[in-house]
Amino acid sequence: SAVISQKPSRDICQRGTSLTIQCQVDSQVTMMFWYRQQPGQSLTLIATANQGSEATYESGFVIDKFPISRPNLTFSTLTVSNMSPEDSSIYLCSVVSSTDTQYFGPGTRLTVL
């Protein structure tokens, strides 16, 4: 299984600011995914990040709000822009193994005041 780390693990931010979350994997992976989990809810896929191409966003999520970078096969960032309290969530990155198993990072717990 892949070992995934995320930074920061948690943050408290002011309304209107932006936060960039980093995701690092210990092996090269083709696809990385970003999910959001609002309090008490399930996981919702934000976008798929492929190296060398623009991220593919799910319905309800747009690049201006959640810009994603994928500079190489072991790293990705998700930025939450112009934050509001509704953006308070856990943000998780994940990767798919060669056996179609998806593994998750520890998550970034974001609180927007």
Residue 58 CB, shortest distance to another protein, in Å, is 8
Pick between residue 18 and residue 38 the one whose CB is nearest to another protein. Answer: 38
Dihedrals phi, psi of 14, to nearest 5 degrees = -90, 150
Task: Yes or no: say if 49 and 34 are a contact pair by the CB < 8 Å rule.
Answer: yes
Binding of another protein at residue 73 (CB under 8 A)? no
Is residue 76 within a helix (H) or strand (E), and if so which, with residue range?
A: strand 75-80
Closest CA to 96 of 5, 20, 30: 30
In Å, how far from its chain's centre is CA 84?
17
Listed ranges 20-28, 39-47, 68-76, 78-86: which one lies at the site for another protein (CB under 8 A): 39-47
Please report whether residue 106 would count as binding another protein according to CB under 8 A: yes
| Contact residues: another protein, CB under 8 A | 1, 31, 33, 41-45, 48, 50, 56, 58, 92, 94, 96, 99-107
